[in-house]
C-alpha cells in the first residue's frame, strides 16, 4: 500500500473495528467514530475523548478480562479490575482527559528465547493494560490502512501463515535467494524520539502523545529495583505490537519504493531476490537505512544472504524444488523434541494416560500451526519418536526383570521370548525400539490411550474435517 497517509485518514477513521491479532472488539466507540466521519481533523485532536468513550472502554475491558494474565507491580488481579473501575472510574477518566495520568512501572520478566538468550517482557498493571487496550482500539484504525501489504504481524485479518505462503510464492516466481534480516534486540533498542515522531504524523492529540511517551519511559521493576528506560518498548503491553508496526512501516515503505519482494512479521523481515550478488547489495543498503534512519542495528550473526531452503521463516522452511514445498524447519523439530523430553522428565512416576493427556495440547498446537507443511515425513518421524518415548517410560516403570517378563507375557508374548527380552540387559531407549515392545504396545494401543497422531491431525486440518 503506497498511498499518502493523509489521503487515507478518512477511511481509517471510519473503520469501526479491527486491531491487533484479532479484529473483534478492537474499534473505537460508535459515537466517537460517527464524529470522526464528519470531522477527521477534529477527531485526531480529540482522540482521548474517543479512548474514554463508554463503548470503547467496555470493549477494552472485555479484551483485558479475556486475556487474563498475571498481576503487575501493584498486585491487582484481572478479576479485581471491574470492581476497581466501579469505585475509581470518574477519577481515572478525569486524569486521562486532563493529561495528568501517570502510568505505573512495569514488572520485568525474562523468558528464554528459542535460539538462546532471554527475552525481556514488561508486564503492565491491569489498569494500564486497560488504558493501553483502549488506546490501541482508537489508534489502530488511524494507522492500519496505511500499513504495507507485505506486513503481516499483529494486524487484523493477517497471520503468520499468510506471510509463509507469500514467501513460498516469491521463491516459486524465481526469487531463489533470501536476505534474512534479524534486528538486534529490536524491542529493547527502539529509539523513543524516532518512534514518537512517526506516531505524531497521524496523531495530533498531545494528551495521547504524552501518555504514549510516558508508557515508553515507565520504570522497569525487576528484582525489587526500579530502573528508568531511555530506549526500548518492552513486550507485554497491548500497545507494543502497534508501536512496532508504526516504526517499521518506514522500512516497509522504503523496500516498496525500491521494488523489493519481501515479507515482514513484526521484527522478522525476509527480502527475496534473484541472485546472491543482488542479495548482498540489498543487505548493505537496508542495513545502512536501518542504522541511519531508524537507529536500529542488524544482528550480523543471525542475518545473511542464503537459499530459502537453508533458512527458516516463522518456523517454516521449504524444499529446493522449482515449485517449493513447505516443511517444518529442522531447528523447530529439534526444539519440539526438547520440549517434549522436558515434559516427560517432569512426568516421571505418573500414569501413562496422564502423560498422554499432558501431551495433547502440545500436539494440537504444533499441528495447528504447521498445518501448511507439505512435507509429511517430519510428522511421521515425530509420531514414531513419541511412541518410542512412551514405550521407554513403560519399560523404565516396570523396573524388575520379573515384572518385565510377566507384563510382556500379559501383552501377548510367549514365555521364552518374554524372558529373553526381559533379561537382555539393554536400556529403556533400546528396548523401546525393539520388536518385543513394538509387538506388546502397537500403534493401536496408543490410539486407544488417546495419543494424538500428528500425521492424522495434519490431514484433518488440511482437509478441513
Q: What percent of the chain has pLDDT over 90?
A: 76
Instruction: Identify whether the C-beta of residue 418 lies closer than 8 Å to the C-beta of residue 408.
Output: yes
Res 13: pLDDT: 33
Residue range 264-292: mean pLDDT, rounded: 95
Statement: residue 12 has pLDDT above 80: no
All cell numbers assigned to 321: 524444488
**Predicted confidence (pLDDT) per residue in 242-253, tens digit:** 999 999 999 999
- Determine which of 106-115, 252-261, 281-290 has the lowest per-residue pLDDT on average: 106-115
Cβ-based neighbours of 389, under 8 Å, separated by 6 or more: 340, 341, 344, 432
| 314 and 160 Cβ atoms separated by less than 8 Å | yes
Q: Dihedral of CA 296/231/137/44: which sign?
A: negative
pLDDT at 227: 74
Distances (CA, A) of 401 to 139, 227, 233, 464: 68, 60, 59, 47
The H or E element containing residue 336 is helix 330-346
Across 171-194, average pLDDT: 92
Q: What is the C-alpha to C-alpha distance for residues 381 and 196, in angstroms, rounded to an integer? A: 49
Is the predicted pLDDT of residue 232 greater than 90, yes or no? no
Across 28-32, 156-160, 218-222, 224-228, which has the greatest mean pLDDT?
A: 156-160
At 95-126, the pLDDT tens digits run 999 999 999 999 988 777 766 667 778 899 99
**Pick the residue with more confidence: 357 or 26?**
357
Separation CA 166–CA 150 (nearest Å):
9
In this predicted structure, the answer to whether residue 16 has a pLDDT above a threshold of 60 is: no
pLDDT band at residue 6 using 50, 70 and 90 as cut-offs: very low
Q: Is the separation of the CB atoms in 252 and 143 below 8 Å?
A: no
- Does residue 203 surpass a pLDDT of 60? yes
pTM here is 0.83
CA 252, CA 262: separation in Å to the nearest integer? 9
What is the pLDDT, as a whole number, of residue 349? 79
Distance CA 77, CA 47 (A): 28
Q: Check residue 114 and give its pLDDT.
A: 67
| β pairing state of 106-112 and 220-222 | parallel
- Residue 288: predicted pLDDT: 96
User: pLDDT at position 415, please?
Assistant: 94
Q: What average pLDDT does range 409-434 have in this prediction?
A: 95
Q: Cα–Cα distance between 93 and 121 in angstroms, integer? A: 28
- How confident is the model over 125-155, as pLDDT tens digits? 999 999 999 999 999 999 999 999 999 999 9
* Average pLDDT estimate for 215-235: 80
Question: Which SS3 state, helix, strand or coil, does residue 298 take?
Answer: strand
- Alpha helices in 99-238, H assignment, sequence order: 126-143, 160-172, 186-189, 192-199, 206-217
**Worst-scoring range by mean pLDDT, 28-37, 86-95, 259-268?**
28-37
Q: Which pLDDT score, from 0 to 100, does residue 116 have?
A: 65
* 3 state DSSP class of 35: helix
Cell, residue 93: 477518566
How high is the pLDDT of residue 17?
A: 34
- Mean pLDDT, residues 292-311: 93
- Per-residue pLDDT, 115: 64
What confidence score (pLDDT) does residue 30 get? 41
Higher-pLDDT residue of 27, 415: 415
More confident residue, 32 or 462: 462
- Mean pLDDT lowest for which of 109-123, 165-179, 305-319? 109-123
Cell of 409: 507375557
User: Of residues 442 and 39, which shows the higher confidence score?
Assistant: 442
* 264, containing H or E segment: strand 261-265
Amino acid at each position: 500500500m503506497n498511498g499518502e497517509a493523509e489521503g487515507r485518514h478518512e477511511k481509517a477513521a471510519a473503520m469501526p473495528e479491527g486491531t491487533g491479532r484479532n479484529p473483534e472488539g478492537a474499534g473505537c466507540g460508535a459515537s466517537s467514530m460517527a464524529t470522526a466521519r464528519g470531522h477527521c481533523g477534529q477527531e485526531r485532536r480529540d482522540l482521548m475523548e474517543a479512548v474514554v468513550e463508554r463503548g470503547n472502554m467496555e470493549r477494552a475491558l472485555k479484551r483485558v478480562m479475556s486475556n487474563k494474565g498475571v498481576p503487575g507491580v501493584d498486585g491487582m488481579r484481572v478479576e479485581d479490575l471491574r470492581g476497581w473501575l466501579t469505585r475509581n472510574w470518574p477519577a481515572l477518566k478525569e486524569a486521562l482527559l486532563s493529561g495528568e495520568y501517570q502510568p505505573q512501572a512495569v514488572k520485568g520478566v525474562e523468558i528464554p528465547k528459542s535460539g538462546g538468550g532471554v527475552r525481556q517482557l514488561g508486564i503492565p498493571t491491569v489498569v494500564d493494560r486497560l488504558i493501553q487496550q483502549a488506546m490501541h482500539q482508537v489508534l489502530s484504525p488511524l494507522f492500519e490502512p496505511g500499513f504495507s501489504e507485505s506486513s503481516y504481524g499483529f494486524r487484523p485479518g493477517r497471520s503468520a501463515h499468510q506471510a509463509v505462503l507469500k514467501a513460498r510464492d516469491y521463491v516459486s516466481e524465481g526469487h531463489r535467494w533470501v536476505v534474512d534480516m534479524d534486528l538486534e534486540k529490536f524491542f529493547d533498542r527502539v529509539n523513543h524520539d524516532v518512534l514518537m515522531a512517526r506516531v505524531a504524523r497521524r496523531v495530533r492529540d498531545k494528551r495521547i502523545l504524552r501518555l504514549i511517551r510516558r508508557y515508553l519511559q515507565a520504570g522497569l521493576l525487576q528484582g525489587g529495583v526500579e530502573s528508568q528506560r531511555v530506549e526500548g518498548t518492552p513486550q507485554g503491553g497491548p500497545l507494543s505490537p502497534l508501536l512496532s508496526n508504526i516504526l517499521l512501516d518506514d522500512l516497509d515503505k522504503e523496500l516498496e519504493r525500491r521494488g523489493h519482494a519481501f515479507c515482514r512479521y513484526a521484527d522478522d523481515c525476509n527480502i527475496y531476490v534473484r541472485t546472491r550478488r543482488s542479495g548482498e547489495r540489498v543487505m548493505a543498503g537496508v542495513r545502512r537505512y536501518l542504522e541511519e534512519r531508524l537507529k536500529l542495528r542488524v544482528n550480523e550473526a543471525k542475518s545473511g544472504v542464503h537459499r530459502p531452503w537453508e533458512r527458516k521463516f516463522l518456523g517454516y522452511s521449504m524444499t529446493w524444488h522449482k515449485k517449493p514445498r513447505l516443511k517444518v524447519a529442522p531447528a523447530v523439530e529439534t526444539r519440539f523434541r526438547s520440549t517434549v523430553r522436558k515434559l516427560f522428565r517432569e512426568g516421571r512416576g505418573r500414569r501413562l494416560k496422564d502423560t498422554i493427556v499432558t501431551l495433547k495440547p502440545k500436539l494440537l498446537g504444533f499441528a495447528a500451526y504447521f498445518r501448511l507443511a507439505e512435507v509429511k515425513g517430519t510428522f511421521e518421524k515425530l509420531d514414531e519418536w513419541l511412541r518410542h518415548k512412551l514405550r521407554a517410560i513403560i519399560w523404565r516403570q516396570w523396573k524388575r526383570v520379573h515384572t518385565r517378563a510377566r507384563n510382556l507375557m500379559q501383552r501377548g508374548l510367549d514365555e521364552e521370548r518374554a524372558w529373553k527380552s526381559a533379561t537382555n540387559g539393554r536400556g529403556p531407549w533400546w528396548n523401546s525400539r525393539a520388536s518385543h515392545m513394538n509387538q506388546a504396545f502397537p500403534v493401536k494401543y496408543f490410539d486407544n490411550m488417546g495419543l494424538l497422531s500428528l500425521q492424522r491431525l495434519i490431514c484433518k486440518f488440511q482437509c478441513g474435517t
